[in-house]
Amino acid sequence: MQLRQISQNALQQFEKDLELQYQAIGAQKLSLDLTRGKPSAEQLSLSDALDGLLNGDYKSLDGTDTRNYGGLDGLDEVKQLGAEILELSNTEVLVGGNSSLTLMFQAALTAYHFGLRGPDSAWKHEGGAKFLCPVPGYDRHFTVCEQLGIEMLTIPMTATGPDMDAVEAAVKADANIKGMWCVPKYSNPTGIIYSDETVERVAALGKIAGPNFRVFWDNAYVVHGHSNIRAPLANVMEACKRAGTEDSVLQFASTSKITHAGSGIAFMGASAANLKGFKQFLGSCTIGPDKVNQLRHIRLLPNIDALLSHMKQHAAIVKPRFDAVLSALDSTFNGENDFAGIGSWEKPDGGYFVSFDTQPGLAREVVRLAADAGVKLTPAGATFPYGKDPEDSNIRIAPTVPSVEEVRSAMDVFVVCTKLATVRQALANN
Ligand code: PLP
């Protein structure tokens, strides 16, 4: 039997039982945290050989002394690694500092104020800019837009990527739409991978939109599979080349979740014209990136094979945590269970998040109940522009930092809170 077919009396009994379970959890005085989408200390330790690796040899392959200024777009051998990660040619890659988010912000700033194709192409001359934001999405993308005064328009996510009918209709209808956020692989937070058709249609947007439209293709989880480390994703640059739209997509990735999250290296992949426009801006902010760090990275991970086998070690640490989340959800909200169907989620096989949708109107309440029982969850609404989830239903679960045992305990709390909030809502609505 399912919850919605249950009598008022039976619901009241469920509420009583769940309240007892909730009180018992509260008595344990737990302090667990499922908020942080960052690597655990165990994962960070996989790259500790970075420390001291150079051992006094600071020369790159072409003899550059990496300690000195210069090299605005990075060392050649590191561009090569970025090219292999993003499946581009090395002339299409720029290596930046420690954060792809910084590169994304700088790219958006350049496009807005200075223009990627010269000053006349700046979005500010076209009466402002709007971005399409597939939701749920990554809160820091939304912060970039807010900071630059870019209006955000939401697009629903599906199991194959953003709803492309909605995207194409929006781009056709409004010339002020100048960009779109995409996390094409293990999307933050739903964990889905864009289908081939979605990639093809994203690449074709440049034919509908004007010449200053840019897709921000944030491939943060490109080599972060849990069972298949490098699960297939169609190559967006090749699709763009077929469509004649290679200037319409800017790609990003980093080693933040490969080596040390706070001191990795970031990549931007783009057409020659976009790289030229971006470097003009970048050259006014810096004389060059931290090439010593780039050299340490390429000595630790000299090629894509080394990098992929390193990622296998990450997967061995991360996958059991995801399994714990997914099995808790599956055993509670699927099958013949009384509570089947009261929540929905994708089953990511990579990345850092599981995205769970409660019944409408309950996400905040579940997060509150969990917090009061000692389990911190990302604030409800964080996965939507301006922090506003119109359905109040999406909750992002980030299980990488706690131990597997802690994830299990936290999920026990999560499912009780979700059930309790749902039963109370059903009672109030009856
Ligand atoms: N992009 C996405 C989709 C992310 O989830 C994250 C971090 O969680 C980042 C970018 C941050 O990347 P970086 O550390 O390279 O700035």
Residue range 175-196, pLDDT digits in tens: 999 999 999 999 999 999 999 9
Q: Which atom of ligand 1 is nearest to the CA of 101?
A: 16
CA of 341 to the centre of ligand 1 (A): 31
CA of 356 to the centre of ligand 1 (A): 20
> Whose C-alpha lies nearest to ligand 1, atom 11?
101
- In angstroms, how far is CA 322 from the centroid of its own chain? 16
Upstream peptide bond of 184 is cis (omega within 30 degrees of 0): no
User: What's the chain's average pLDDT?
Assistant: 97
Rounded to the nearest 5°, which phi and psi values hold at 65? -80, 105
CA of 15 to the centre of ligand 1 (A): 40
CA of 9 to the centre of ligand 1 (A): 48
Over residues 279-297, mean pLDDT: 97
The alpha-helical segments, DSSP class H, found in 233-303 are 236-243, 272-282, 291-300
User: Can you spell out the DSSP letters for 306-342?
Assistant: HHHHHHHHHHHHHHHHHHHHHHHHHHHHSTT-TTTTS
| pTM attached to this predicted model | 0.97
> Whose C-alpha lies nearest to ligand 1, atom 8?
37
Q: Which atom of ligand 1 is nearest to the CA of 254?
A: 15
Flag whether pLDDT at 323 surpasses 90: yes
Q: Which atom of ligand 1 is nearest to the CA of 253?
A: 15
pLDDT tens-place string over residues 53-83: 999 999 999 999 999 999 999 999 999 999 9
Whether the CB of 218 sits within 6 Å of ligand 1: yes
Strands 130-135 and 177-182: parallel
Over residues 132-149, mean pLDDT: 98
Whether the CB of 190 sits within 6 Å of ligand 1: no
Whether the CB of 217 sits within 6 Å of ligand 1: no
For residue 328 the two structure tokens come to 């808790």
Flag whether pLDDT at 255 surpasses 70: yes
Expressed in percent and rounded to 5, the helix, strand and coil fractions of the chain are 45, 15, 40
Flag whether pLDDT at 221 surpasses 50: yes
Whether the CB of 100 sits within 6 Å of ligand 1: yes
Flag whether pLDDT at 1 surpasses 80: no
- At 3, the pLDDT band (50, 70, 90 cuts) reads confident
Whether the CB of 188 sits within 6 Å of ligand 1: yes
pLDDT tens-place string over residues 23-42: 999 999 999 999 989 999 99
- What H or E segment, with its residue span, contains residue 93? strand 93-95
Look at residue 128 in the predicted model and tell me its pLDDT. Answer: 84
pLDDT tens-place string over residues 223-235: 999 999 999 999 9
Over residues 165-180, mean pLDDT: 98
Q: Which atom of ligand 1 is nearest to the CA of 255?
A: 15
> Whose C-alpha lies nearest to ligand 1, atom 1?
220
